[in-house]
Amino acid sequence: MQRYFLSKIGQSLLLIFGVLLLVFVMVRVTGDPAALMMPRESTAEEIEAFRERMGFNDPVTVQFLRFISGAVVGDFGNSLHFKTPAMPLVLQRLPATVQLATVGLLMAVIVGIPIGLIGGFNPGRIADSLGRLLALLGQSVPNFWLGLMMIIYLGVKLRWFPTFGRDEWKSVIMPAFVLGLPVMGQLVRLTRSAVLEIRGEDYIRTAHSKGLELRTIYYKHVLRNIAIPLVSVIGVQFGYMLGGSIYIEAIFAWPGMGGLLEQSIGWRDFPLVQAIAVFTSIVVVTLNLLTDITYAIIDPRIRYAR
Amino acid sequence: MPVENATVTADSLLDVERTWKDRLAYLWRFLWRDRGGLVGLIVFMIVVLAAIFAPAISTQDPFEQNLRASKLPPAWDEGGSWEYPFGTDSLGKDIFSRVIYGTRVSLMVGLFGVLIASILGLIVGAIAGYVGGRLDETIMGMVNLILSLPYLLFVVFIAAVLGRSLLNVILIFGITDAPIFARVTRGEVLRIRQSGYVESAISAGARWPRIIFDHILPNLIGPLITLATFEMSRMIFYEAGLGFLGLSVPPHEYPTWGNMLAAGRKYLTSYPWMATFPGLAIMFTSLGMNLLGDWLRDVLDPRLRRSRK
């Protein structure tokens, strides 16, 4: 058990180091970082001065050591746009992104799992077909486009929800719905197929032949067993939502990390871009680690299989 | 769905003795039974045909600006004309023609992206699955780690660093998507290696090239085609997203759905049709390819069907 956890933690640390390496290589080695970060109309002298100031003229190994030793203490240099350290700017935006992802995930779970259950218990019926259609739509509709359409119709025409920002509780509804929609589709499919699979297991047949009430079978045997795969998928999806809200935050001007990423790309503010990429990865990797550990605790089969 | 019947069809498809005509007949019967697959196939064909015959279908030159005809609404709205069926954008370019031409970039990104990803993934996954042992553990450990990263974040990050070009977009998707192909290939190779027919081929004295090319590769085609369909749909989706953020193909080079969405976003409240139609095109394509993928999975991979009953 302990060895399993330790190896998982080791893998996560390795992955974060890999992310740092990737970010460093992409920005410093694949091209000229000074040209990347300076405005397009800058003169050659300005770029040269900037390069000297940022230390881009030093040997790559020196730069890498500097980058890593900064990253360990959360120092990614100053944002070029705000002229203040990049990391605190990212941390400021974290609560908004977490709120958006949490509400989106809740919506997806509340809608997706019941629909999946209904479909799984009544395969082939109309409710099942409708559920599958909904899942298909949820996974096929481009969510950034759906966001635009909701702004036009629900925001501007009907005035039900505010179209941008995070000023009142209603602000979160549209972006969270759009962000949660693909997850909802996936949860419908997954719940449905998990129910179908478990219904075919021997122990369910035994329960039926013992004459147990249907309700007991569903609650005690089926629901408990689908909970295990669902927990892991929900954990992973939450991570994806935290890292994948860029489009949605940009559309709704949601003041989270994704929106900041979009803006900082526009400003060519790469210290800030780096800080967002690394920090979001750390959050997602930590979440995945927690999911793995929870999973191992709920389901002893995972632990003993190693 | 009648499982016994379906198994017969799937086996027959892979049966070497059958003629192409027989196989097509089986495919057609299977298509007819699963209407979703039929719809998906038709949608996919429409998109492909639109890309090929774009110059013949479009009503206007997609690049031509006509300021006198700018910001026209769709034909069925007041003030629209059938010369510009979906209306025009802020510079008077015909939205219908641009949506039609947009299929080209989308399909190109999807096709070449999947091609690169599947070749890379096939090589890595096949080595891991065939050699096994520590090498397999190391490779799959890395693949699983990479897959646990926030995908979209890194695609956006890499695209922002490399700059806008069609080649960059294709390479980004081709490389970042390879781990998924590697994982599926490795799983399939492991399964095939342990199957009776590979064992009997080895005991009959077949050498590894023969085992790989005669036994393993043909059995990989089914699962990989299914995966490729889903991944292609995903790449088309993400390419549009990159375009929306201004990180895909530069707008003066080619009309793309993502760039059109980005341009339409500026006029969202006053001229909503500029963003509506490219989005509908993405949805249509994505829906069709997902249906096609579901169907292919049923036809080509009878093992996966069990969970769907």
Contacts of A193 in chain B (CB under 8 A): 307-308
- Interface confidence, given as ipTM, is 0.83
The distance of Cα B180 from the centroid of its chain, to the nearest Å, equals 14
Contacts of B245 in chain A (CB under 8 A): 246-247, 250, 262, 265
Contacts of A196 in chain B (CB under 8 A): 307-309
**Tens digit of pLDDT per residue, chain B (309 long)?**
344 444 444 444 555 556 777 777 777 777 777 778 888 999 999 999 988 988 887 777 777 777 777 777 776 777 767 777 777 777 777 888 888 899 999 999 999 999 999 999 999 998 898 888 889 888 888 888 888 888 888 888 888 888 888 999 999 999 999 999 999 999 888 888 887 788 888 888 888 778 878 888 888 888 899 899 999 999 998 999 899 888 888 888 888 998 898 888 888 777 888 888 898 999 999 989 988 988 888 777 655 444 443
Structurally, how many domains does chain B consist of?
Answer: 1
Tell me the C-alpha to C-alpha distance, in Å, between residue A157 and each of A149, B206, B268, B272.
Answer: 11, 70, 12, 11
B9 lies in some domain: no
Nearest CB partner across the interface for A284, out of B149, B158, B233: B149
Q: How far is B275 from chain A (nearest CA, A)?
A: 8
Domain, as residue range, for B226: 34-308
B23 lies in some domain: no
Q: What length is written for chain A?
A: 306
B240 lies in some domain: yes
B288 lies in some domain: yes
Q: Which amino acid is at A191?
A: T
Alpha helices in B132-256 (DSSP H): 133-147, 151-162, 166-176, 178-193, 196-203, 208-210, 217-244
B109 lies in some domain: yes
B20 lies in some domain: no
Note the pLDDT of residue A305: 54
Residues 69-108 of chain A whose Cβ lies under 8 A from any Cβ of chain B: none
Q: How far is B96 from chain A (nearest CA, A)?
A: 17
Mutate one of A32, A93, A121, A140 to test the B interface: name it (highest B CB count within 10 A). Answer: A140
Note the pLDDT of residue B8: 44
Contacts of A36 in chain B (CB under 8 A): 161
**CB–CB contact A123 B246 (8 Å):** no
Segments of chain A scoring below 70 in pLDDT? 1, 29-31, 300-306
B229 lies in some domain: yes
Note the pLDDT of residue B306: 41
B-chain residue closest to A251, CA distance = B265
**CB–CB contact A136 B287 (8 Å):** yes
B27 lies in some domain: no
Domain harbouring B63, CATH code = 1.10.3720.10
* B171 touches A: beta carbon within 8 Å: no
Judge contact between A63 and A28, C-beta under 8 A. yes
Nearest CB partner across the interface for B279, out of A148, A197, A239: A148
* CA dist., res. B241 & res. A147, Å (int): 12
* B268 touches A: beta carbon within 8 Å: yes
Q: What is the DSSP letter of A267?
A: T
**CB–CB contact A262 B268 (8 Å):** no
Note the pLDDT of residue B111: 95
Contacts of A261 in chain B (CB under 8 A): 153, 156
Note the pLDDT of residue A169: 79
Judge contact between A118 and A128, C-beta under 8 A. yes
Nearest CB partner across the interface for B308, out of A156, A193, A250: A193
* A19 touches B: beta carbon within 8 Å: yes
Mutate one of A129, A132, A145 to test the B interface: name it (highest B CB count within 10 A). Answer: A145
Q: How far is B106 from chain A (nearest CA, A)?
A: 14
Judge contact between B236 and B293, C-beta under 8 A. no
Contacts 24+ apart (CB under 8 A), A227-230: A227/A298, A228/A295, A228/A298, A228/A299, A229/A190, A229/A194, A230/A113, A230/A187, A230/A190, A230/A191, A230/A194
Residue whose tokens read 């190693």: A306
Assign residue A165 a region (left: φ > 0; alpha: ψ between -120 and 50; beta: otherwise): left
Token representation of residue A253: 């001007």
